[in-house]
Amino acid sequence: MAEKKKAKFLTYKGKPLARCGKTIYYGNMSDPYVIMLQICSTKKVGEMDVASRVTVQLLNTDPDVRPRDKIVKKSEKQGLYQAMDIASIWLERALSQQS
């Protein structure tokens, strides 16, 4: 019989990363909070496009929360590294306060 293959996600600091176009989601969707990173602009480095401006948002995943209240924190960072750095800090703090 054919076995079902479980989708494997890339991870950063033990949390999954999922990408759709220029949007990256960081964290488990079953957790109370998740991070959404939106690549606003890119620049060419050699032959590769590299994110130069990234918007970081800490989102509440509760379906009962109004859409305008879903965004808990928001910031804009220069480069994906800085964005992922603040994203991991925000997510860890938000999830630790829930425990």
Could you report the per-residue pLDDT of 16-52, keeping only the tens digit for each? 999 999 999 999 999 999 999 999 999 999 999 999 9
Strand order in the sheet with 10-12: 10-12, 15-20, 23-26, 33-45, 48-60, 71-77
pLDDT score at 67: 87
In the structure, what pLDDT confidence band is assigned to residue 98 with cuts at 50, 70 and 90? confident
